[in-house]
Structure 1
Amino acid sequence: MLSWYLPSFRARRTVATGVVTALVCAVVSVLFLMYTGNQAADAAQSRVTEAWNRVVPLVRQGPLPPTLRKGRVEGIEVVDTRGRVVAATPELAGRPPIADFRAPRTSVSAARVLCSPPGLAGCMTVVSYKIYQPQGAWLLYVAVPVVPWYGQTTAVLIALGVSLLVTALMAAWVFRDLTKALDPVNAIRAELAEITVTDLDRRVPVHTDYAEIKALAETVNDTLDRLESAYTRLRRFTADASHDLRTPITAMRTQLEEALLHQCDTDWPEMTRAVLAGVDRLQGVAADLLTLARLDAHAPLQRAPTDLSELVEAELGRRTYQKKIVKGLPGPVCIDCDRMRITRVLVNLLDNAERHANSQIVVSVRAEGPTAIMEVADDGEGIAAEYRELVFDRFTRLDAARSRDAGGTGLGLAIAREIAAAHEGTLTIEDSERGARFVLRLPICEAAPHRQPDRTIV
């Protein structure tokens, strides 16, 4: 469960939603209060007009009673030309005029806000009207309470209450929805936190309520699948590597200890040759491990257009093989490659074929559309279909091969496939009438190849 604090996504989204909702509610409330204020002002003006319509006929028709009915206004006064109050509502009876202003010549009425006019409490909006009489213009003063811009206090309370309620509801809804949406994420996080090296088979729960969360859980599980597979391969690789390293070390130690115990009976030249053979095996394993480490680190390739047929011809002519080599190199086939690494692939395939061939090895190069193909086939016992991918695993040697392949490191074919993949190519074992047929496929280049000097394979 995520804690409620501002840096959390859920808290930030909830606060942001509350702030935005509050701003929207504030704008709507202001518009609402302005509307209610205008309505209240119109109502006050209507009350003033009503008082004017009621009093003016009394003034003109006479006789004007000294006490006027208040109606829906706070006070009414009628002032004659000499400034005397001739009629007023009861609360203004016997008091001086509540105002001393009159409308300008071009207007019939004028209005002002007066605070605490005589006989009235609080601020009032006083409207002055001209009433034309034969002896001159009389003045009619009508007082109503000042109407604020927001109308009534009730409207403010309603707007404030509705705004708080809407803001709280929106924030609560967003908080609840985010909590529901983040629950699967929390479950994934909790499960990942408990997965250790000893239980890599565990997987996070997959929730189907949200497509994005479902995709996240499936991606995490796929990643865990790859991690478990990689860790399994690493453990097997480590076990095999330690075995392949311990075996020659143990043999050399045994030979040296025995030679020291029986120094007079030891054939020192023979023992030295045996120890050197073990050293050569250790050196081979170390070199292959270093090569794999460079390939795993995606070390850059030194590519150049190269004639694959010429490369194969040069390598076959460099060394002598115990088995007969049959070549099929019809013409130039250009590939864009690191010549040293592709030569390493060919050497590994030839070494593997020579260890398992009965009498001959067939090496061929050809082009098929946009693909260059190199095949190395032997006439040995071959490899069953179910083991054709297994032989490319690191430190993997089939039982049948172990008795015959005492000098192999178990890394040659793995290195060859990694080099092929680094060149956007493939290395596979395909069907053949007899023996094993390794097929390397690489993209053909359009540039003309050029011959390069041979380099030592390390």
Structure 2
Amino acid sequence: MELKISWPPRLRPRSIQWRYTLTVGVLFLIVLAVVGALVDLGIRSRVTADIVRDTRLAIVDWAAEMRPGHIPPPNPTPRADYLQLVDSAGQVVAASAAAAGKPPLTTLRPPPDDRVQDITACLREDKCMSVTALRLEEGVARLFWNGEPHYIYAGKVRPPGLTMHYLEVGIGAAVLIASTMAAWATWVVVGRTLRPVRAITSRMREATAGDLSLRVPTPPGDDEIAQLAHTSNTYLERLQQAVTAQRRFACMASHELRSPVAALHVQMEEALTYPDQSDARTTMQRALHTTERLQALIDELLAYTRVKDARPSAYQPLDLAALVREEIAIFSGGTPIRLHATCHPTVRGTQVQLASVVNNLLTNARRHAHSRVDVTVEHVDDQAVVTVQDDGAGIAPEDRERVFETFVRLREGRRLDPGGSGLGLAISRETSNAHGGSLTIEDCPKGTRFVLRLPLMGAQPQNRAPQTGPPAKDAMPLRDTRG
């Protein structure tokens, strides 16, 4: 059974070290007090039983030496300090040397049906004795004293430790000392245990949004505190990366938003400054085009943040091959798109977001392709793999990771789509990461090969010949984020 101590809210110590120390001290005090009380009772009972046994044996030895007409004085024995033979009138008939000339040890007169009784008699406050009173049998009384009842008293002085409660004082002192030592040991052990935690707390307080490069000290070993330190450092590292990415994103977003806002401001200012030289309709059309670009940029920024904050609880099973086929069907005319699907892997995700990723990859591939785009859907081990490959100029190996950063656009991308924002591939990678997958660019003999990997929910391979999608016509292009 687990014993818990519940401190009142007002009295509960705020420090874990104090709380554990007080709890252990109180528990030790309670447990040792109970053990001490049991020990005290056991010692007292054992000593009393030994004294009673000795006094009774002393009475038996003396009674065995008595003869009619001859009552010998009791021999000195360590079993009893005092021995007396008392008649029914309370007169001492015979006694040991120590009890000679003394009044009866007690006035107790055992009845015939309970001839042996034991009591404790105190001569003074610091001296008590255990007395055993024996009523001699009626046959002996008739033989020795014509039937007059006689009593034998045997007394033995109790140890001072029992009389003056020295035993209780000693046990109480031992309990207090042991409880104090246990509390002190707990204070030391918990203090040493929490020392790394204090260091972690102090370093975490020093870490601010202005300086997230601090790391907490890591204690040796692999216990819970060491794991806490490792986890805290990992958290600080991720927080630093997130804050750095957020600042960089905010800086780049403000830079991208500044251009259309500045252009709109210049157009409005020019129209107001030179009203006679400006055509109102032309100015409004330019302003409308600028606001459309600004709105598209804001929409993509919102889409990027929504993807980063998406929750997996809204995911549903999706047939990835069917989703890719539906997106290919949107395109018509222009560069043909060939689909090769050997299975129908099922993944969990948001259809709108995954469809946006596939659409973005197809749009970029068609924009940069020379003659065709090949799309493959398959499953490898426990992953569904979608490959989108064009036969264009390709992307240099050193730029393959840069194109997934926000607002990064290469020269070829700016040439083919001057109005792009550079967020499409960043959103696509964030979407794949949010779904537990990945989006990378792999080596290929010609062009660019985008590979989307998503964890399988349940794959159902179908032995079908590679399927080819219909050639597509021009469709409304997405913003180019390649390059």
Which TM-score tier does this pair reach, normalised by the shorter chain?
A: 0.7 to 0.9
Q: For residues 9 and 457 of structure 1, what CA distance do their matches in structure 2 show? A: 62
Indicate which of 231, 234, 247 corresponds to 1:219: 231
Q: Which residue identity does 1:6 align to in structure 2?
A: P
Deviations 1:261-311 (A, max 9, x none): 333333555444433332222111111122123222215356554624531
The TM-score normalised by the length of structure 1 is 0.81
Query: What is the aligned partner in structure 1 of residue 118 from structure 2?
Result: 111
C-alpha displacement of 1:160: 1.7
Which stretch shifts more, 423-432 or 437-446? 437-446
Q: For residues 352 and 285 of structure 1, what CA distance do their matches in structure 2 show? A: 18
Deviations 1:58-117 (A, max 9, x none): 64387557999797756443234776432346766375784261452575x333456779
Q: 1:426 to 1:157 in 2, by over 3 A?
A: same
Q: 1:144 to 1:290 in 2, by over 3 A?
A: same
Indicate which of 169, 175, 181 corresponds to 1:163: 175
Residues 96-245 of structure 1 correspond to what in structure 2 (within 5 A)? Answer: 98-99=106-107, 101-102=109-110, 104=112, 107=115, 109-113=116-120, 125-130=131-136, 132=140, 133-136=143-146, 138-145=150-157, 153-208=165-220, 211-245=223-257
Q: For residues 179 and 335 of structure 1, what CA distance do their matches in structure 2 show? A: 54
Q: 1:150 to 1:447 in 2, by over 3 A?
A: farther
Q: 1:288 to 1:130 in 2, by over 3 A?
A: same
Q: For residues 105 and 334 of structure 1, what CA distance do their matches in structure 2 show? A: 99
Deviations 1:304-335 (A, max 9, x none): 54624531431112xx55xx334245678465
SS in 1 for 2:214: coil
**Is structure 2 residue 289 aligned with structure 1 residue 277?**
yes
Which stretch shifts more, 282-291 or 260-269? 260-269
Q: Which residue identity does 1:206 align to in structure 2?
A: T
SS in 1 for 2:430: helix
C-alpha displacement of 1:128: 2.5
Q: For residues 343 and 111 of structure 1, what CA distance do their matches in structure 2 show? A: 100
Unpaired runs of 5+ residues, structure 2, are: 1-10, 463-475, 479-483
Contact map agreement 1:125 1:146 (CA 8 A) in 2: no
Query: What is the aligned partner in structure 2 of residue 375 from structure 1?
Result: 387
Q: 1:423 to 1:28 in 2, by over 3 A?
A: closer
Deviations 1:107-161 (A, max 9, x none): 5x333456779xxx87863422427344446432234457899676332232222
Q: 1:265 to 1:30 in 2, by over 3 A?
A: same
Query: What is the aligned partner in structure 1 of residue 466 from structure 2?
Result: none
Q: 1:235 to 1:6 in 2, by over 3 A?
A: same
Query: What is the aligned partner in structure 1 of residue 330 from structure 2?
Result: 315
CA-based RMSD: 3.9
Query: What is the aligned partner in structure 1 of residue 423 from structure 2?
Result: 411
Q: 1:157 to 1:116 in 2, by over 3 A?
A: closer
SS in 1 for 2:210: helix
Q: For residues 6 and 333 of structure 1, what CA distance do their matches in structure 2 show? A: 61
Indicate which of 428, 440, 450 corresponds to 2:440: 428
Q: 1:409 to 1:34 in 2, by over 3 A?
A: same
Contact map agreement 1:37 1:148 (CA 8 A) in 2: no
Q: Count the aligned residue pairs.
A: 440
Q: 1:15 to 1:272 in 2, by over 3 A?
A: same
C-alpha displacement of 1:426: 3.0
C-alpha displacement of 1:184: 0.5
Which stretch shifts more, 401-410 or 164-173? 401-410
Indicate which of 319, 322, 325 corresponds to 2:336: 325
Query: What is the aligned partner in structure 1 of residue 19 from structure 2?
Result: 12
Q: Which residue identity does 2:35 align to in structure 1?
A: V
The TM-score normalised by the length of structure 2 is 0.77
SS in 2 for 1:78: strand
SS in 1 for 2:153: strand
Contact map agreement 2:323 2:355 (CA 8 A) in 1: no
Which stretch shifts more, 377-386 or 85-94? 85-94
Identity %: 30
Indicate which of 30, 42, 52 corresponds to 1:45: 52
Q: For residues 166 and 409 of structure 1, what CA distance do their matches in structure 2 show? A: 74
Q: For residues 457 and 14 of structure 1, what CA distance do their matches in structure 2 show? A: 70
